Amino acid sequence: MRTAWLVLLAAAGLAGAGERRPEGPQGIKAVTEPSEDRTVLGFTFPGRIAKVLVKEGQYVQAGQPLIQLDDAVERVELEMLKAKAEDSTRVRAAELRLKRARVVLGKVRKAYQDKAASKRELEEATLAAAMAELELEIARLERRQAQGRYRQAVLKLERMRLLSPVAGRIERLLVRAGESIKALAPVARIVQVNPLRIEVPVPMARARGIRPGQAARVRFADGAGGAAAGRVVRLSSVADAGSGTLAVRVEVPNPAGRPAGEQVTVEFIATGAPGPSSRAARLGPARSGR
């Protein structure tokens, strides 16, 4: 009787084992972030905003103008400095005075040799030629200084137009035309969501097998678009002692422009795998660290 019961229990156990499904593959949950997120600081000097050259939601390229300050006064000053920088009359006049002084010195020196001029006259002619030479050097220096002030004014005028430091989308504008702003006041927030960046908290034991450049499979929580192919771009040098994880940065192309901040699941593809259909290095669930 006891033997019969043992046989029945063994059979039930085998049946249960046969019906048990293997655990499905799971990755690490994380949240997407913009690959660039800049709060653009404004100008290095105060001023009044003449034009806002972009709109919220607009995509801009690096170096594209964003905001223009009122530069009417600076343009007038620039024209004046340009005229002084291009003016060569003082230099030409000094060159003529030096030429005349040298001619006079030559005549006085010859007259002195012929006993027709005194030593004092020779000294005065020599001194006059030396003074004329110094005046020419001063005129040339003043012109170089005027040219330098003109170049400074050109650079200042260029700085009155704020350029985008990165390519991205204007997430928010913080100023409007006609407003006066202080130096270094924030004027806009620019984000770049193509590619998206994901900081994945990987358990230390499993992070040791991950390398920069390694492929990763990213699945969005809503399941739309299927899995996206990403890659590892960076491993943190400092682990999180509290969670026992290491931050692994993954970038994933986002041509559709999905917003940052979505929940995703990341699986790291085993090194040397032949393709997306190959076996993945499945990592167990972990806290996102957020």
List, as one string, the DSSP characters of 8-72: HHHHHHHHHHHHPPPPPP--EEEEEEEEEEEEEE--SS-EEEEEE---TT-EE-TT-EEEEE--H
Spatial separation of the C-alpha atoms in residues 237 and 247, rounded to whole Å: 9
Query: Would you say residue 181 lies in a domain?
Result: yes
CB-CB contact of 198 with 230 (8 Å): yes
> Contact 139/91 with Cβ under 8 angstroms?
yes
Q: Between 19 and 28, whose confidence is greater?
A: 28
Q: Are residues 87 and 154 in the same domain?
A: yes
Distance of CA 275 to the CA centre of its chain: 35
Domain total of the chain: 3
Complete DSSP assignment for 108-155:
HHHHHHTT-S-HHHHHHHHHHHHHHHHHHHHHHHHHHHHHHHHHHHHH
Q: Say yes or no: 109 and 218 in one domain.
A: no
Q: What are the structure tokens assigned to 189, written together?
A: 């927030």
What's the pLDDT tens digit per position in 236-259?
999 999 999 999 999 999 998 899
More confident residue, 20 or 149: 149
CATH number at residue 64: 2.40.50.100
Query: Last residue of a domain, which of 141, 158, 175?
Result: 158
β-pairing, 263-269 with 280-281?
Answer: antiparallel
Query: 151-182 pLDDT, tens per residue?
Result: 999 999 999 999 999 999 999 999 999 999 99
Task: Give yes or no for a contact between 32 and 197, defined as CB atoms under 8 angstroms apart.
Answer: yes
Asked if residue 16 is part of any domain, the answer here is no
**pLDDT band at 224; cut points 50, 70, 90:** confident
pLDDT in the model for residue 16: 40
**Using the 8-state DSSP alphabet, how is residue 260 labeled?**
S
> How many CB atoms sit inside 10 A of residue 119's CB?
8
Q: In sequence order, what are the beta bridge partners of 200? A: 248
Three-state secondary structure call for residue 188: strand
**CA proximity to 169, closest of 87, 18, 74, 56:** 56
Q: 271 and 199: one domain? A: yes
Token output for 278? 């190959």
Do both 107 and 144 map to the same domain? yes
Q: What are phi and psi of 154, to 5 degrees?
A: -65, -45
Which residue's structure tokens are 């167990």? 284
Tally helices (H) and strands (E) across the chain: 5, 13
Residue 44 and residue 172 in one domain: yes
Segments forming the whole domain that contains residue 124: 73-158
Q: Do 116 and 233 lie in a common domain?
A: no
Q: Are residues 150 and 172 in the same domain?
A: no
In this structure, the answer to whether residues 107 and 173 fall within a common structural domain is no
pTM strictly above 0.75? no
Do residues 68 and 212 lie in contact, with contact meaning Cβ atoms separated by under 8 Å? no
Indicate which CATH number applies to the domain containing 267: 2.40.30.170
Q: Which two tokens stand for residue 237?
A: 């040098």
Over the stretch 85-119, which tens digit does the pLDDT of each residue have?
999 999 999 999 999 999 999 999 999 999 998 99
Bridge partners of 280?
Answer: 269
> Looking at the DSSP assignment, which residues form a beta bridge with residue 211?
none
Tell whether 207 is covered by a domain.
Answer: yes
Q: Is the Cβ–Cβ distance between 254 and 194 less than 8 Å?
A: yes
125 and 96 together in one domain = yes
Token pair belonging to 267: 């699986």
Q: Based on the domain organization, do 273 and 224 belong to the same domain?
A: yes
Question: What is the per-residue pLDDT for 5?
Answer: 43
Question: Both 182 and 251 in a single domain?
Answer: no
Check whether residue 89 and residue 202 sit in a common domain: no
Tokens of 58: 């607009």
